[in-house]
Structure 1
Amino acid sequence: MGSFIRLVIGVPVAAIVTVFLFYVMQDLIKVDEVDQPDEVDDVTFSINDEVAEVEARVRDTTIDDVQQVDPPPPPPQIERQRAEQPSEGLATVMGAIPDFEAPQLNSDSVSFSVSDRDAQPLVRIEPQYPLRAAERGIEGSCWVRFDVTPDGTPTNIDIYRCDSSFFERASSRAVERWRYNPKVENGVPVARRGVETRFDFRLAE
């Protein structure tokens, strides 16, 4: 019963205090209105409207006013000494030059000998491994005999022994592309016969 009475009395009191505080706060934040002038005068600023004429001062300068400068003195002359020509002869200074007999050159006394040589290889191209032989794992060797013409070209190529027929064509085509320095006899290139070589066909491990 006592709590009900406190509730009935406290609610109106709280409401009155709240309304009072509301009006107090409203009065504190109220701002008075400021009257704004109806017309605003136009203000114009002018900075240096007119261009002032500046008179340039011209100074007259004559040739007489320029200070005279003396030119530098000329460089000193250096006397060049002349080499005196020797009065003694060359034979007196170095001794007499001995006389010698000039050799007589003619076609009979001069002879050139060209040494003979055998055919020498210039270009040697290895044969290509036949694809069919490589696929089957076939290895072997091939012996070739041929002649060399006076211009260094292999000819009359003969496969006289071969471990497999797969290597014959590859060996023959390789020798066809070889080039030689031809055989020389008495200074004249001649044919070289019976040159032999061997090709070994081995698969890489």
Structure 2
Amino acid sequence: MLACVFLGSAVTFAIFLFMVSLLDGPARVPDAPKEYPIVEILQPKEPTKVIEKAKPVPPKVPPRPQQRPQVAAEPAFEGPGTIAVTPDVPAPSTQLDAFPSAAQGAARPLVRVPPQYPPQAAREGIEGFVVLRYDISATGAVMNAEVIDSEPKRIFDRHALKALRKWKFNPMLDNGGAQVQRNQQVRLDFNLQQ
């Protein structure tokens, strides 16, 4: 064992001496770099030709005057003792309301989030429905949502309530102000073909 240690040390020492001799060898001075002639290749300069295309002038179209359709009704049957009446029907208006949501009337849905199908019910192939009652606040949010009826019981209720609470409505307007709308109902069907 001791012989192996001495042999290994001797080999290592010999390798170090060999590396030092490689580094201490005669220093070579690099040769002077050769000079190569510099050649410039010049392209002859040609004037750049700019081709301008004339932009077509759009023809001026005079605005068309709005014509109101003339509705001519035929006079009613003239018999003895009857008066012929020709109704004066105004032309239909082409203007749209600036704020169509500001019209009088019931709340209209803006956002309807569909309910997620419960994974367990989907695996088991269960279908059904949930009937919900809710109120719509003056801001259009759903409040006081509750399950009225469901089939099968309690399987789809939580998912239906969660979806309904995300719905948003344009609130009902009465005399220019938003009103709370109470006791609204909706039926959400859960079908696997959807």
TM (normalized to structure 1)?
A: 0.43
Computing the radius of gyration from Cα coordinates, the structure with the larger value is 1
